[in-house]
Amino acid sequence: MLQYFLREYDVVSKFAVHPHTKKPISRELHAAMIQESTRFWAIDAEHTLFLAALDQHYHSADFMASPDLQRGLQRISEDYLSTLPDNVPRYRTFRHLTSYASSYYSYPWCQAMAGFIWSECFQSRPLDRHTGERYREHILAPGSSGNEWRRIEHMIGFKPSVQDLAEGLSRP
């Protein structure tokens, strides 16, 4: 959710100040930083999908019947990547397959929820105190306990559909 607040100049200008002059960040610099941060979003999305597909392949019955890491990597790379790395043994760097798989399963889900909550609650008034307090009470305070759907429903006032969340994922 923080990335949405950081896209709002009125929010960022409250704390992004020059250490000596105390002047807030310029609108131009803020806009340039946002543009730079989203420049390669498609590559990041492609890589996320690739990792999820590779993980699914490595845990499939087909792979278990004929476990060949290199052949599986090559096939999934060809199916999911727009550019193929030459002579790079990528499978040697897949520590996240055992330590951080949530980056390509739960992170897109969280991005969708955050995008939807942002558009429903904060987009028109990102500095609204009442909305921020509701967000703290219904989303942040419970942590990872409870039913996420119910917490979102309490936050926004209605139960979102899967379509709503898919639209949230498509937002920058």
78-105 burial, b at 16+ Cβ within 10 Å, e below that, comes to eeebeeeeeeeeeeeeeeeeeeeeeebe
What are the structure tokens assigned to 144, written together? 């990872």
Q: Which tens digit of pLDDT belongs to each residue from 74-116? A: 888 899 888 876 655 555 555 555 545 556 667 777 888 888 8
The structural domains of the chain, with segments of one domain joined by +, span 2-37, 41-100, 103-169
pTM for the structure as a whole: 0.68
Q: Which tens digit of pLDDT belongs to each residue from 103-159? A: 666 777 788 888 889 999 999 999 999 999 999 999 889 887 878 888 889 898 898
Q: What is the DSSP string of 87-120?
A: S--GGGG-THHHH-THHHHHHHHHHHHHHHHIII
Question: Residue 51's closest CA among 6, 81, 71, 26?
Answer: 81
| Those residues with Cβ within 8 angstroms of residue 59's Cβ, 6 or more apart along the chain or in another chain | none
Q: Which tens digit of pLDDT belongs to each residue from 9-32? A: 999 999 999 999 999 999 999 999
